[in-house]
Chains A and B, each alone.
Chain A
Amino acid sequence: MKRTGVFTCHCGINIAGTVDVKRVAKELSDHTGVVHSEDYVYMCSDPGQNLIIEAIKEKRLDSVIIACCSPTLHETTFRNATKSAGINEFQCEIANIREQCSWVHKDMDKATEKAIKLTKSAVEKVRRNESLDPISVPVTRRALVIGGGIAGIQSALDLANSGFEVILVERSPSIGGHMIQLSETFPTLDCSQCILTPKMVEVSKHPKVKLMTYSEVQEISGYVGNFKVKILKKPTYVDPGKCTLCDECTKVCPVVVPNEFDIGLTGRRAIYIPFPQAIPATYTLDIKSCPGLLPIACGKCADVCEPDAIDFDMKPETVEEEVGAIIVATGYDLYDKELMAEYGYGKYTDVLDGLQFERLLSASGPTMGKILRPSDHKEPKEVVFIQCVGSRDPELHCAYCSKICCMYTAKHAMLYKHHVHDGQAYIFYIDIRSGGKDYEEFVQRAVEEDGVLYLRGKVAKIFEDKGKIKVWGVDTLTGKDIEVDADMVVLALATRPSKGAEELARKLKIAMDKDGFLSEAHPKLRPVESITAGMFLAGAAQAPKDIPEAVAQASGAAAKAIAILSQERLFHAPTVAKVNVNLCTGCGMCVDVCPYDALSLKDGKVEVNEVLCEGCGTCSATCLRAAIQVKNLTPLQVHEMIRASLGG
């Protein structure tokens, strides 16, 4: 028989105000196996912990129950105290009589009755607890960063500069993400490419970084500290070692498709380099657009390639890597234009999205920084910018605020005025959200210095009429109808999680929120961690964010990853599944349901990989013979807890 001690906390009046703690201590002292029971005003205080330590030593206790607040708060405190008194930390359990009792009930008698039952239930559990030692596992001291935008680049650089090897995987032919497409950035009007390219160069030349572009994560297995990753390297059909960037291939390529980098404002060939500063600086043959790899189908590019860099026989390659931590920085995409048909996007050539307008503004863009209408290459004199297109629209589109649009729209209107001095910029908005350092001042500057006209209201209709785009709306501040004969309309489309992020999240087994953004482990206290240990989130993959926020989160995620990678060994909770081989018939039902592939059949019996097992207990609920049980929460323990809870 175990010798259990029970310690009931008053928590000032937080518990003692509703629960008669003296009575709890008294009743528990009569419970089977309890050899010591006392109460104290604050068990978590130093004197409180000392009471426990002394009682363990004096009364030779081998297990303790602390009846106090939720185990999420002080379980560690009390387990450490128990350990310091010389008994195993898993011989300490918490009875939650505050959050689940004193704080939710008013009737003292009833609350006290319940607190007694909860404490007795915990005693019944701890009486059957095994002493356990944490399972120690080694750490693979390298990291994987998924996504080569600004967030991924920043995380990779922070990790590499701390001395850890990093694999940076990007699915498109070049790193840079959306930031490389932008013209200037708010609120300073820094040239986006000018501030990003140094980081792109640094990450690509860093001796600790292995850059894998045109590659995708295919499969992930393992656990924190020891992940195994399969990465698919898609063939580019061009050997970057031989390619001299002479550009002869694109001159002969007969295929023209929309250029992703300019969001369809220009075309590109089937063989192409995404943009001049692309990293790696090499051409990619887009097999989906190419008429065929057989020389008989076309083969013109290979014919003109003097260094013989084009290799039609290149095959997809799967690379296996081992890493200890993973950072997911898959970024965002704009809301599907097909879903925004009411604003004429995709129907009228001069209705653009924010990224297309960035390309028009960009010095390296299709118009070399001149604002020209795509339809007739004339300078637009009246431009309407519409905010919240798809955002803040719970009925039809996205309920959330895309956060960055107020600022970039102000920037668009301002830069438009810098290019077209006699033009007029109108902005339709719902609210202006300009929280951020120097952001409000920036919006004011657009209004005061550049004469941008802000109109509070939604646009009802957009249609083409005699070469103009008619925009009908209402100014809700004056109540007047507004009609603008615009030359160009720019839509601030909602920010969505990047396409493919959902599939990746499923592979990684990390959760998504209702909008498809990756879920952080705690909205306030664990904003860069995913719920899966060892996987971290950075950038707009988690929620819409601007560049400084994405960079800050990326550095935060890198710091969290470093905290894992800098350990010699990691420890894993030992409350894992255990098989009674005498009862196991090898039916394999538990093997099928295990979410972690921690179970396998060997010689007709189930075996537990303790390192993979997370102790969820799905196996034990599935087993017909109670042959597999989770340590310290066995069916017997649960049955005894049920009995104690019901006062039997």
Chain B
Amino acid sequence: MMAEEFEPKIVAFLCKWCSSAGSDLAGVSRMEYPSNVLPITVMCSGSVSPLYILSAFNRGADGVLVSGCHPGDCHYIKGNYYARRRIALINKLLEYIGLEPQRFQMSWVSAAEGTKYTQIIKDFVKELKPLGPQTKLRKDL
């Protein structure tokens, strides 16, 4: 018997004003994407602490996405710039730990970009599947 295909678990931190609204638009437009993604709406991508990302991996996420407003369009003026700088550092940290770089992504999705959100999730799931489960940072292993 064939083993069941690996379904990666993704935690997506979406900012309330752009990316969460963009994912709502994907829903309103009845676009379809894999159900592997669990969205957590935060006020701003700038409020996503590195600890949230580590916590998600620690609790068994196979991939983490942080999505905010496009640079220059932040509802909170400049929160996404801080997010961008912080994420660059987290990338280095994860690389140092030895986690596959594909497991952590950042994107800019506006409230009008339902299609883009859908595509990002589809691509992310596709990229994660060949990697198999994330074990590097998982607590229970």
Contacts and interface: CB of A to CB of B under 8 A. Distances in A.
Q: Tell whether A and B belong to one assembly.
A: yes
Interface of A: 70-72, 96, 98-101, 103-107, 110-111, 113-114, 117-118, 121, 509, 511, 531, 575, 593, 595-596, 614-618, 620-622, 630, 633, 635, 638-639, 641-643, 645-646, 648
B69 to A, nearest CB: 9
B123 interface: no
B47 A620 contact: yes
A104 B31 contact: yes
Interface string B66-90: 0000001101111100110010000
29 contacts: A72-B24, A99-B23, A99-B25, A99-B28, A100-B23, A105-B34, A111-B35, A114-B38, A121-B38, A509-B77, A614-B76, A616-B46, A616-B47, A616-B75, A616-B79, A618-B44, A620-B47, A621-B48, A621-B49, A630-B47, A635-B49, A638-B42, A642-B56, A642-B59, A643-B59, A646-B56, A646-B59, A646-B60, A648-B60
Given A642-B11, A645-B11, A617 B47 contact: yes
B55 interface: yes
Contacts of B65: none
Contact of B82 (A101, A575, A618): A618
Contacts of A114: 35, 38
A103 B82 contact: no
A511 to B, nearest CB: 6
B27 interface: yes
A617 B11 contact: no
Given A105-B35, A595-B76, A642-B56, A621 B30 contact: no
Given A106-B32, A618-B79, A646-B9, A98 B27 contact: yes
A72 B16 CA distance: 10
B43 interface: yes
Contacts of B46: 593, 616-618, 621
B38 A645 contact: yes
A502 to B, nearest CB: 11
B137 to A, nearest CB: 12
Q: Is the interface of B mostly helix, strand, loop or mixed?
A: mixed
B133 interface: no
Contacts of B33: 104-105
B6 interface: no
Contact of A99 (B24, B47, B49, B72): B24
A593 B82 CA distance: 8
Contacts of B25: 99
Contacts of A100: 23-24, 27, 39
B61 A621 contact: no
A618 B28 contact: no
B32 to A, nearest CB: 6
Q: Is the interface of A mostly helix, strand, loop or mixed?
A: helix
B21 interface: yes
B110 to A, nearest CB: 11
Residue of A99, A113, A593, A633 contacting most chain B CB atoms (<10 Å): A99
Residue of B25, B27, B39, B55 contacting most chain A CB atoms (<10 Å): B27
A615 B17 CA distance: 13
Given A104-B26, A616-B75, 8 more contacts: A96-B24, A114-B35, A121-B38, A593-B46, A595-B77, A618-B76, A639-B52, A642-B59
B43 A616 contact: yes
Residue of A100, A617, A618 contacting most chain B CB atoms (<10 Å): A618
A595 B44 CA distance: 12
B30 A103 contact: yes
Contacts of B86: 621
A445 B29 CA distance: 44
Contacts of A616: 43-44, 46-47, 75-76, 79
B133 to A, nearest CB: 12
A641 B73 CA distance: 27
Nearest to A111: B35
A641 B40 contact: yes
B40 to A, nearest CB: 5
B2 interface: no
Nearest to A103: B27
Nearest to A618: B46
A70 B24 contact: yes
B42 A118 contact: no
A105 B32 contact: yes
B73 A511 contact: yes
B51 interface: yes
A393 to B, nearest CB: 23
Contacts of B28: 99, 103
A618 B11 contact: no
Residue of B50, B76, B83 contacting most chain A CB atoms (<10 Å): B76
Interface in B80-127: 82-83, 86, 118
Contacts of B60: 646, 648
Nearest to A639: B55
A641 B83 CA distance: 20
A99 B117 CA distance: 13
A630 B56 CA distance: 20
A591 to B, nearest CB: 14
A491 B33 CA distance: 49
Contacts of B21: 72
Given A593-B82, A641-B40, A648-B59, A618 B23 contact: no
A639 B35 CA distance: 21
B22 to A, nearest CB: 10
Contact of A638 (B31, B44, B52, B79): B52
A527 B46 CA distance: 27
Contacts of B52: 635, 638-639, 642
Residue of B33, B35, B52, B78 contacting most chain A CB atoms (<10 Å): B35
Nearest to B86: A621
A118 B20 CA distance: 14
B35 A113 contact: yes
Contacts of A118: 38-39
A616 B31 CA distance: 29
Nearest to B77: A595
The 6 closest A-B pairs by CB, nearest first: A617-B47, A99-B27, A616-B76, A645-B38, A103-B27, A618-B46
B126 to A, nearest CB: 16
Contacts of A71: 41
B43 A633 contact: yes
Given A595-B79, A642-B11, A646-B11, A617 B27 contact: no
B27 A70 contact: yes
A81 B126 CA distance: 42
B54 to A, nearest CB: 10
A516 to B, nearest CB: 12
A101 B40 contact: no
Contacts of A96: 24, 39, 41
B35 A107 contact: yes
